[in-house]
Amino acid sequence: MTASLLWKRIWRHKIFYLFMLPGVIWFFLFSYVPLYGIQVAFRDFRFTGGFTGSPWAGLKYFHQFFDYYQSKEIIRNTILISGMKLCIGFLTPIVLAILLNEVRNVAFKKTVQTLSYLPYFVSWVVVVTLMQRLLSQYGGPVNNFLESIGLVNEPIQFLNNTSWFYQMIIGSDIWKNIGWNSIIYIAAIAGIDQQQYEAAKIDGAGRFKQIWHITLPGIRNIAVILFILATGSLMSAGYEQLLLLNGPATASIGSVLDVHVINAGIGSGRLSYAAAVGLFQSVIALILILTVNRVARKVSDVSLF
C-alpha cells in the first residue's frame, strides 16, 4: 500500500483513529517520553543538573553494580524466584481454568471463580500481614491447627526461615494471582467449538482425553503468547512481595534486584546506580523476550511479532 493510499484510508476512518488517539498519546507520554530518563544511568545525577544537565559518568554505575560483592547472589536469587514463579505460576492458572471448565454446576463454578480472583485485589501489605498472623509460630491459627490434629509436635516457623521461604513466596504468589491469570484461559476455553467435544464424546473420548486433545490445543496459542510475555519478567521477582516477606533470616536467598534498586535509589539516594541496575534488568528482559519469541515462532508458529 502506498503512503497516499494509507493516508486516504486513515482519513476515511478518522473518527476511529481519533478514538485511538488518547491511547496513543498515553503510551507516548508515559511509556516513551520517560525513556529519555534512561540516560541517568550514564550520568552522575545532580539535583540541579537534572536528567540532561548532570555530568556524564560512562559505565561507572554498571561497574559498581558488578563489583558489588552481592550482585551475583542477587541476580541468582532473582532468576531463581522468578523462574519458579514462571514455571509454577504459569501452569496453575491453566489447571484452574481447565478444572473450572469441567465443573457443571454453574453456581459453584462462579463462586469458585470469584473467590479465586478476589485475592488479586488485595494489597501485598495486607496479604503479608495476614500471613504473619496466620502462620505465626506463637499462637498462629495454622500452627495451632496442625498441632491439634497431631501433624506436628513443635510449631513450624514458616516465615523468616530459609527452609520455608520459597514455599511461602511461590504459594502466596499463586494464591494472589491464580484466579486473575486464569480468566484469559477461561475465555479461551469458552471460545472452543462445542461440536469438537461432542464429536470426541461420540468417538468414545473420556474427560481426560477431551482435555488433552481439545481443550489444551485450544488454548495453546494463548498460553504461548502469555509465556513469552511472562519471560520478560524473569529479572523482576516482584518488589512489594519480596520487600515485605524477606527479612534478615532469609536475605541470603531472598534479596532480589527489584528490592536492591528501591533500596539503592530511594533508601540511599543513589539514583544513577539504581537507574543503571534497572536498565540492566530491562535489557536482559528485552533479550529474553526476543529470544523466547524467536524460539516460539520456530517451534510452534505462534509468536508476539
Partner 1 sequence: MWNKKRTTVSSMVALTLVGGMLAGCSDNGNNGGSAGNAGNGGNTSTNNGGSSETASNKEVTIKILHNWNGSGAGDVDMTPIANAIKEKTGVTVKFDYTKGSEVEKVNTIFATQDLPDVYTGPAWGGELDGIIKAANEDQLVDISDKLDKYPNLAKEIAKENVPPALYDKAIGAFGDKKYMLYQNQPASEKDANDWLYGFYVRKDIAGKIGIDPQSVHTKDDLYNFLKKIKDANLQENGMPVFPLGGFSNGWAVGIGNTMFYGSDYIDKGDGTLEHTFMSKQYEDYTLYYRKLISEGLLDPETFTQTDPIAKEKINQGRIAVLAAHYPAILDASKDYVKAHPGTDFVPVGPLERAGAEENRPVDLGIQGNNVTVITKKNKNVDASLKLLDFLASDEGFKLVHYGVEGVHYDMVDGKPVAKKDFFDKFNADATGKAKKNEGFGIGFESMTGLDRTNTLGGDIWADQERIAAMDNARKILRPNGISVISAYAPGDVLAKSPEYESLKPSMDQIGDVWKQAVFAKSDEAALKIINDLRNQMKKTGYEDAMKYTNENLKGKEVVTLQMPN
Kindly state the smallest distance separating residue 206's Cβ from partner 1, in Å.
50
Evaluated on CA atoms 286, 290, 296, 299, the torsion sign reads negative
Q: Which is nearer to partner 1, 76 or 213 (CB)?
A: 76
Torsion of the alpha carbons at 230, 235, 239 and 245, rounded to the nearest 10: 100
Evaluated on CA atoms 122, 126, 131, 134, the torsion sign reads negative
For the chain, the first-to-last Cα distance in angstroms comes to 20
Q: Which residues bind partner 1 (CB under 8 A)?
A: 15, 18-19, 21-22, 25-26, 29, 46-48, 64, 67-70, 132, 136, 138-139, 157, 159-160, 247-249, 251-252, 264-271, 273
Cell of 7: 493516508
Kindly state the smallest distance separating residue 283's Cβ from partner 1, in Å.
22
Kindly state the smallest distance separating residue 251's Cβ from partner 1, in Å.
5
Kindly state the smallest distance separating residue 41's Cβ from partner 1, in Å.
14
Question: 166 with 139: CB under 8 angstroms?
Answer: no
Q: Which is nearer to partner 1, 61 or 117 (CB)?
A: 61
* Residue 170: partners with Cβ closer than 8 Å, 6 or more residues away: 81, 84, 85, 88, 89
Cell of 37: 530518563
Q: Which is nearer to partner 1, 19 or 212 (CB)?
A: 19
Q: Which is nearer to partner 1, 8 or 294 (CB)?
A: 8
Distance CA 302, CA 298 (A): 8
Q: Tell me which residue has cell 471448565.
A: 101
Q: Which is nearer to partner 1, 29 or 286 (CB)?
A: 29
Kindly state the smallest distance separating residue 68's Cβ from partner 1, in Å.
7
Kindly state the smallest distance separating residue 303's Cβ from partner 1, in Å.
32
Q: Which is nearer to partner 1, 140 or 218 (CB)?
A: 140
CA distances from 132 to 139, 244, 253 (A): 11, 10, 19
Q: How far is CA 13 from the centre of its chain?
A: 37
